[in-house]
Amino acid sequence: MSIKVDRNSIIGTVLIAIILGVWVYMTTPSSEELARQKRIRDSLALAENTSLKNTEQISSVIPSKDSISVTNKVPADSLLQIQKQNFYKDFYPVIKGEEKLYTLENNKLKITFTNKGGKIKQVELKEYRRYGKQEHLQLFDTDSTTYSLILDVYEKNRMFYTDSFYFDAPVVEKNKIVFRLNTSKNNKYINFIYQLKDNDYILKFDIEFHNFNDIISSNTDEIFLKWKCLMPSQEKHIIKEKEVATIYYKYTEESPDYLNPRSDEEKTINEMPIKWICFKQQFFNSTIIADKEFMKDGSTIKLRQKEEDTAIVKAVEAEIGIPYSHQENEVFGMNFYFGPNHYNTLKRYEDWELEKIIPTGWWIFRYINTGLVIPIFNWLKGTLNFGIILIILNIIIKIILFPIFYKNYMSGAKMRALKPEMDKINEKYGPNGDPLKKQQEIMALYQRAKVNPMMGCLLLLIQFPILIALFNFVPAAIELRQEAFLWADDLATYDSIWDFGKIPIIYSIYGDHVSLFALLMFASTLLYTWLNSEMLSPQQNQQVPGMKFMMYFMPVIFLAVMNNYSAGLSWYYFTANILTFGQTYLIKAIIKDEKIRKEIEENLKKPVKVSGFQKRL
């Protein structure tokens, strides 16, 4: 394997950068739009500060017991209670309570709820385990996540967070729970309705507002849902988790997009309404999906790195606008997806395009993964070990490409058979001859011998997209997660035969361990490179003398990269090289050089057909 970076690639990259720069300039909001967004952000900031300081504000307006005259007929505790009643008004009855837990469960999920905030406390995936653990994998728990409605009430910029109130649970069924946020008035309440389907990763979530039109501030046309989460580490290699964990989001009319996973980033979404927001980890995700759409104005998403934390991958946050039109009764429908980043599972929800959070690559790479790799995985999963499945995938690809491989080999063999004729041309022109005439005579020789010197490029051109497609998909394939093979306990991450610890410089380049699969891939790639160079004709070797160093240096680069990469991918590349050796020697054993030389001599004796264009010249 070798990677070539040419001038066209650099020019293409520069052109893309220029186009992106123009696009950013053209889509930058106006100063008026930025000012409007700032007002929304200031309102949200006020909401959070108000919620956090409610208790201090209430306490500050009440004199202490020591400062109250003994002749005062109203005790200080009563004054504080009155002040709280005036502050919370209709919500005063729900500021205190006793926490109670409830559970919804199917064969895939176990979701624990709390009546404090009427929210999800914990999500467990029954079919999966955290690396090195036996209990169900927890996507998050109450210490790492929270979500709440931010209620702008009573016309005074007073903000209440629903996760600080205690809900009732008037409906508790096998697959349904209704949490109700009551007020001091019986006909004014908010329902959080959760319904869990059988054999599914979807939790239906509806919010019902009943007669809240005179409680919510009249100048409010949206209510924000705030969702914060600390992503816990689930895998063997937390560094890889940190590299890929991010927030995806989808507009109603466009394909999904995402924040840069390698930096802190915050985005205010104002281009168009939002369909869903996804907190994506390496193999799992938590996504909230609107039945219709979330509002665009003021909705924000935030991604924060946790570089030094060995238990938390990322901190993520979303503030999403829910439309509110001050009707007596309003309902906003949503769904939560809590589950694996499994292509076919996500593809079932076709209208949502959730499967696009999986890095299958762009254009041709995506079609290779979705049309070949994933179907083979699904076909053989459960019947064979995935190490064997990767070998079978390799064999299938080799069979598909064999006709091109055969023509490539024959082209190289014919060019080697032309060595006597090539020596005569080199002797004729010598080192100081006209290079243009020399090249013209060489090309004429190729034409007479019926040799295509570009056939090797065709094979590389076809193989390269396959290698890149697998490089993108295999490390993200949940099918390989925790699948053991030979000495590797997890094909989705690196294998290690020696952990030598963090050594300065070496750790940043190579890692703190030795991957045997990566070493095998490295050795086989060197052998493959040497074999290719031996099969080149003298003319080809003269044409690319400067490339020899790069051809042997690139496997060293691959070793440093693959040492920390998926063991399954290193195993695939290694077996691909071994199968290539087998194909080469099989053809070499069948097709003798003497036969090829005889065919060349017969072709050289035949008159060359001159095209009409050449005749006119």
Residue-wise pLDDT for 224-256, tens only, equals 999 999 999 999 999 999 999 999 999 998 999
| Averaged pLDDT, 601-614 | 63
- Measured CA to CA, the distance from residue 228 to residue 250 in angstroms comes to 18
- Which tokens go with 458? 């065709």
362/265: higher pLDDT? 265
Which residues touch 540 (CB under 8 Å, ≥6 apart)?
415, 453
Number of residues that this document lists for the chain: 617
CA dihedral 85, 87, 89, 95 (to 10 degrees): -70
Q: Is the pLDDT of residue 290 over 80?
A: yes
- Measured CA to CA, the distance from residue 312 to residue 238 in angstroms comes to 9
Q: Is the pLDDT of residue 168 over 90?
A: yes
Chain-centroid distance of CA 10 in Å reads 26
Residue-wise pLDDT for 398-417, tens only, equals 999 999 888 888 887 887 78
Residue in this structure with the two tokens 């205690």, named with its chain if needed: 166
The secondary structure element, H or E, covering residue 403 is helix 386-417
4/330: higher pLDDT? 330
Q: What is the pLDDT of residue 17?
A: 52
Q: What is the pLDDT of residue 563?
A: 94
Q: What is the pLDDT of residue 22?
A: 42
| Averaged pLDDT, 384-393 | 96
Q: Is the pLDDT of residue 614 over 60?
A: no
| Averaged pLDDT, 272-289 | 97
Instruction: Count CB-CB contacts under 10 A for residue 404.
Output: 15
Instruction: Give the residue from 192, 177, 167, 169 showing the smallest Cα distance to 322.
Output: 192
* DSSP labels, 293-335: EEEEEEEEEEEEE-TT-SSEEEEEEEEEEEE----SEEEEEEE
Q: What is the pLDDT of residue 574?
A: 96
Q: Is the pLDDT of residue 548 over 90?
A: no
Q: What is the pLDDT of residue 54?
A: 47
CA-to-CA dists, residue 164 to 119, 229, 238, 392, 474, angstroms: 11, 17, 33, 56, 43
Q: Is the pLDDT of residue 317 over 90?
A: yes
Strands (E), 441-548: 498-499, 513-514
Q: What are the φ/ψ torsions at residue 312 (nearest 5 degrees)? A: -110, 135
Q: What is the pLDDT of residue 52?
A: 46
The rounded percent of the chain whose pLDDT value lies above 90 is 56
CA-to-CA dists, residue 118 to 169, 179, 223, angstroms: 9, 6, 17
Cα angle: 563, vertex 568, 574; to 5 degrees = 75
Cα angle: 180, vertex 185, 188; to 5 degrees = 50
Q: Is the pLDDT of residue 53 over 50?
A: no
pLDDT band per the 50, 70, 90 thresholds, residue 541: low
CB 321 within 8 A of CB 290: no
| Averaged pLDDT, 299-303 | 95
- Which tokens go with 85? 């009643």
Residue-wise pLDDT for 174-183, tens only, equals 999 999 999 9
Residue-wise pLDDT for 449-483, tens only, equals 777 777 767 777 888 899 899 999 999 999 999 99
Cα angle: 352, vertex 354, 358; to 5 degrees = 160
Instruction: Give the residue from 134, 112, 142, 113 showing the smallest Cα distance to 124.
Output: 112
The three-state secondary structure class of 578 is: helix
* DSSP labels, 319-385: EEEEE----SEEEEEEEEEEEE--HHHHHTSGGGTGGGGS---STHHHHHIIIIIHHHHHHHBTTB-
Q: Is the pLDDT of residue 16 over 60?
A: no
The rounded percent of the chain whose pLDDT value lies above 70 is 83
Q: What is the pLDDT of residue 547?
A: 66
Q: Provide the β-strand partners of residue 317.
A: 228, 302
Strands (E), 447-565: 498-499, 513-514
Q: What is the pLDDT of residue 8?
A: 46
Q: What is the pLDDT of residue 608?
A: 61
Among positive and negative, which fits the CA dihedral 490, 491, 493, 498?
A: positive
Residue in this structure with the two tokens 């963090």, named with its chain if needed: 502
CB 1 within 8 A of CB 471: no
Q: Is the pLDDT of residue 258 over 90?
A: yes
- Measured CA to CA, the distance from residue 187 to residue 371 in angstroms comes to 55
CB 136 within 8 A of CB 129: yes
Q: Which domains does the chain have, with CATH numbers?
A: 97-358 (2.70.98.90), 366-605 (no CATH)
Q: Is the pLDDT of residue 30 over 60?
A: no
Q: What is the mean pLDDT of the chain?
A: 84
- Which tokens go with 73? 């007929």
> Where is average pLDDT lowest: 125-129, 312-316, 422-426?
422-426
pLDDT band per the 50, 70, 90 thresholds, residue 612: low
Q: 215: left (phi > 0), else alpha (psi -120 to 50), else beta?
A: alpha
Q: Taking the complete model, does pTM exceed 0.85, yes or no?
A: no
Q: Is the pLDDT of residue 44 over 50?
A: no
| Averaged pLDDT, 328-348 | 96
CB 344 within 8 A of CB 377: no
